[in-house]
Chain A
Amino acid sequence: MTASLSLQRLSWEQRRKLTGILFVLPTVLFVSVFFIIPLLMTFTMSFFDWPLFGDHTFIGLDNYTSLTTDRQFLKSIEFTARYTLLVTPPIFILGFILASLVRHSIPGIGIFRTIFFMPVVIGLGVSSLLWVWLLNDQVGIINKIMLDLGIVEKAQLFMARPDSAMAVIIVSVVWKTVGFTMILLLAGLQAIPDELYESAEVDGAGYFHKLRFITLPLMRRTIALALILSVIGSVLSFDQFYIMTGGGPRNSTISVVYWIFNNSFTYFKMGYGAAMSIVLLVILVLLSAVQFYLLRDNT
C-alpha cells in the first residue's frame, strides 16, 4: 500500500517535471533557433569571406583588420557617437520638463500625458516618413511657416547640409521618443514622498535647491535608466537616417547599423558585416555593463 502510494507520488512529481519542461520548450526552441544560434553564427561568419552566393572561405582575422582601415566604418562610429551625444541631452531635458509638468494630478492631466506619449507608439520608420514631408523644401509645412513668419527668406533644403540634417533628425527623434523618457522620469518623480519637499519648503528651500538636494539624488537610478535606454536606442539607430537622408549628403549621416546594412545587404559582404556586428555587440555589452553598474542596488 505504502509502496504503491509513494510510487504514485513519485510519478506525479516526475509528470509535473515533464509538464514544466514541455511548457517552456517552445520558448526555448524559438530563442535557441532564432537568437542563440544566429548569435553564434555571427561570430563564426566574422572569420569568413561570405558572399551571398558562392563559397565561403575562412580568412581568419582579415575582416577585423580590414575594419581598422575602413574609413567609412570609422566615420560611422564617429557619426553614431556624435549623434548619440547630441540627441541624448534634449531627450532627457525635455523629458524631465514634461515629467515635471504632468506630475501632479490636476484636471485634464491625463490628456496631456497621453498627447506627449502618443508619438512613442508610432513606428520610427513611419514617423521619419512623416517628417520627410513636414521638412520638404517644396511641399513641407515647416518651410511654409518659416517663410510666412519671415524666419527664412527662401525654402531650406534641410537634408542638403550635414549640420541641418543632423539638427532636423534630432528634432524628429526627440518628438518621437521623449514621451518614453517622460513616463520613466514621471514614475521616479512620483516615488519621492511629498513630505520631503514640504519639509524643505518649511526650511525655505527654492526650486533649484529642492531639485539639487532632493529630486536628483533620489532619482539617480531612474535617471540612469532613462539615459542608458536612450543611449542604447541612439547607438542602434538606422531608420531615421535610411529614410530621411539616405546616408547623405556625401555619406555624412551613415550610422554603424546603416554601414552594416549596406555592406551585408547591398554589397553582400556578409562576413565583413558580421565582423562589424561583433564590434557593435561589444559596444552594446559594455553599455549594458555600465547600466548594471549605475543601477546597482547599494547606496
Chain B
Amino acid sequence: MTTTNTLQQNESGLSPQQMRHMRNALLLGLRYIALIVLALLFLFPIVWSALNSLKPPAEALAVPPTYFPTQIVLDNYIELTTFGRVGVMQHVWNSAIVSLLTVVGTIILSTLGGYGFARFHFRGKNLLFIMVLSTLMIPFQSILIPLFVMLSNIDLHNSLFGLALVYITFQLPFGIFLMRNSFLAVPQEIEESALLDGCTSISVLYRMMLRLVLPGVVTVAIYAFINSWNEFLAALIFMTNQNNFTLPIFLTNVRSGLYGIIDWGALQAGVVVSIIPSLVIFLLLQRYYMNGLMGGAVKS
C-alpha cells in the first residue's frame, strides 16, 4: 500500500511531504468555505430579524419587503412600548421578575439541597435523591393540568410568583444534580477543621463552600434564567390575565393580531428584545453553559 502511494506521488514530481501539505491545505480551505457558508445561513434569520426591526414602521410592512433598511430608526421599538393594553415594558418586566425569582429560588434551593445530599448522612437520603432526579424522566407537559387546578385553588394561577414556583421546581433536578457533584468535588478536609472549630454548617456553606462551588452556581443560574425567560407552554396556560403575560406570550398575541393588524416591525422588535438577554448571557458565560451541558449529558 505504502509503495503504491509513493509511486503515485513521484509521478507528479513532488515529494510525498509536499503532496501531503498541499492536500491538507486544500482540505483546510474547503473546511473553512463550508464553515463560512453554514455560519452565514445560521446567522441569517437573526440578522434579518434585527435589520427588519430597525426599519421605519412603514417600510417594515412593505410588500414585497426590502432587503436592507433604507434608514435605521428605533421607531418600532418605541411603538412597541405602547402596544397591547399595558405596553411591552410591562411584559419585559413580567418576564424579568419571573426569571429573577426562578434564578434566586433555584440557586438557594439547589445549593442547600446539593450540600445536604453531598455531605450529610441520614436515613432515606438516597431515596429522596432518586425521587428528585426521577422527575427528569417525566415530561412536565403531563402534569400541567393538575398544576393548573392546584394553583387555581390557592389563587396562584395568573400570578407571576406562582409561575416562578413552578419554574423553580422544573429547574431543581438539574440544579440538585449539578450542585451535589460540585460539592462532592471539594475535598472534605477543608470543612472538617472549620466544623471542629465549632462553625455551624450553614456558615461553613455560606462562608467557605459557596466560593468553591461558584462555577456550579453560575451554571445553575444561567440555565434557570434562560429556561424561564424562554418558557412558553406553562406561561400560556397559567397566565390568563393579559397584564401578567410574559414576553413570549405577549408576542404571540401581537402575531395573532389580538392588538389589531399585525405590526411586523414591532413584532420583530419584540423578538429581538426577547432574544438579547439569553444571547448575551450565553455569549458572556459560554464556558459555564457548556459545562452544564456536559454535566447534563454525562448524567443521562
Contact = CB atoms under 8 A, between A and B. Distances in A.
B48 A134 contact: yes
B7 interface: no
B119 interface: yes
Nearest to A19: B201
Interface residues of B, number: 96
Most chain-A Cβ atoms within 10 A of its Cβ — which of B140, B147, B281? B147
Contacts of A45: 145-146, 149
Interface in B49-77: 49, 52, 60-65, 67
Nearest to B162: A34
Given A118-B46, A129-B267, A141 B169 contact: no
Contacts of B290: 183
Given A27-B109, A35-B135, A36-B131, A101 B31 contact: yes
A136 B255 CA distance: 12
B300 A295 contact: yes
Most chain-A Cβ atoms within 10 A of its Cβ — which of B145, B150, B168? B145
A133 B49 contact: yes
Contacts of B278: 121-123
B232 A239 contact: yes
B52 A133 contact: yes
A101 B34 contact: yes
Given A139-B264, A187-B294, A203-B1, A130 B145 contact: no
A288 B293 CA distance: 19
A34 B169 contact: yes
Nearest to A203: B1
Contacts, number: 266
Nearest to A287: B137
Nearest to A222: B297
Contacts of A265: 148, 237
A125 to B, nearest CB: 4
Interface string B210-238: 00000000000000001001111100110
A90 B58 CA distance: 38
B35 interface: yes
B166 interface: yes
B207 interface: no
Most chain-A Cβ atoms within 10 A of its Cβ — which of B42, B144, B146? B146
Nearest to B268: A133
A21 B123 CA distance: 9
B297 A123 contact: no
A76 to B, nearest CB: 13
A204 interface: yes
Interface in B121-143: 121-122, 125, 128, 131-132, 135, 137-143
A60 to B, nearest CB: 19
15 contacts: A22-B116, A24-B116, A27-B110, A35-B135, A41-B143, A45-B146, A114-B283, A125-B230, A136-B264, A141-B48, A180-B293, A184-B297, A229-B300, A242-B252, A280-B139
Interface of A: 16-17, 19-24, 26-28, 30-31, 33-39, 41-42, 45, 50, 98, 101-102, 106, 111-112, 114-116, 118-119, 121-127, 129-134, 136, 138-141, 143-144, 147, 155, 175, 180, 183-184, 187, 202-204, 225, 229, 232, 236, 238-239, 242-243, 246, 257, 260-261, 264-265, 270, 273-274, 277-278, 280-281, 284-285, 288, 291, 295
